[in-house]
Amino acid sequence: MSEEARPITITVSEGIRVSGLVQRPRDATAIYVFAHGAGAGMNHPFMAAVAAGLARRDIATLRYQFPYMENGSKRPDRPELAHATVRAAVDKCRREFAGLPTFAGGKSFGGRMTSQAQAKAPLEGVRRLAFLGFPLHPAGKPSRERAAHLSDINIPMLFLQGTRDTLALPEEIEPVCAALGKRATLKFIDGADHSFHVLAKSGRRNPQVMDEVLDDLAAWMRVEP
């Protein structure tokens, strides 16, 4: 059984506070601190589905807003502020959920900001990072520049990627993960795009795909680093 999503407030710095939502099942075995993508906040159906699905798998979640999303802006925060927000959310989790193994990451932009923060200075208490569609580059502009900082991360990372993800096609993300060696685990979701949607002709439905994503994510969080 899981409690309903509980609102919290996260203090990023003096004068900057953002909203968060905590969802903790009664028998939680871990907690995932995860951030939203660039174009949609923590209440987006994808974010809610991840939180609810992980709760059914006995994993708690803390999802949160970046300041620009909190203020209704469409322009993402500068990296320094985004990194500070990631760190503040992790610190909030560490204070409120001491004892639960902590994992961090997020969807697309949120995962990338989390990895950048970790690369600059380890996020205290975080065992592993998990990315739900790592955005290797903007659509139609192939590049590996956004992955350069990953080599500075010394904890395990999970990359859950759709095979139709135009922000990181298989032939683009595979060499990135290979270069990271044992630190990186790459799991492809067959036929899924960047939002983990599949075409009707695939013979699968989006809820089935989401179950696959969450099963992989939950299993990875149950393994000791």
pLDDT digits 0-9 by tens, 123-154: 999 999 999 999 999 888 888 999 999 999 99
What would the mean pLDDT of 35-43 be, rounded to a whole number?
A: 95
CATH-assigned architecture of domain 6-221? 3-Layer(aba) Sandwich (3.40)
Question: What single DSSP character describes residue 100?
Answer: S
The rounded mean pLDDT for the chain is 95
Give 14's Cβ-side CA count (13 Å radius): 0
Q: Report the pLDDT value the prediction gives residue 28, as an integer from 0 to 100.
A: 95
133 three-state secondary structure: coil
Nearest-angstrom CA–CA distance, 90 and 119? 15
Q: Report the pLDDT value the prediction gives residue 223, as an integer from 0 to 100.
A: 67
pLDDT digits (tens, 9 = 90+) for 78-112: 999 999 999 999 999 999 998 899 999 999 999 99
Instruction: Please report the beta strands in 73-221, taking only residues with DSSP state E, as ranges in sequence order.
Output: 102-107, 126-132, 157-162, 184-189
Report the Cα–Cα distance between both ends of the chain, in Å, rounded: 27
| pTM of the shown model | 0.95
Give whole-number Cα distances, 32 to 7, 76, 187, 206, in Å. Answer: 16, 22, 18, 22
Q: Does an H or E element contain 139, and which?
A: none
Nearest-angstrom CA–CA distance, 4 and 23? 6
Contacts of 41 (CB under 8 A, 6+ apart): 47, 65, 69, 70
Residue 197 above 80 pLDDT? yes
Please list the alpha-helical segments (H only) found in 2-129.
45-56, 67-70, 79-96, 109-120
* Count of other CB atoms within 10 angstroms of residue 55: 21
Report domain extents, the chain.
6-221
Give whole-number Cα distances, 72 to 40, 68, 76, in Å. Answer: 10, 6, 10
Give 76's Cβ-side CA count (13 Å radius): 18
Residue 225 above 60 pLDDT? no
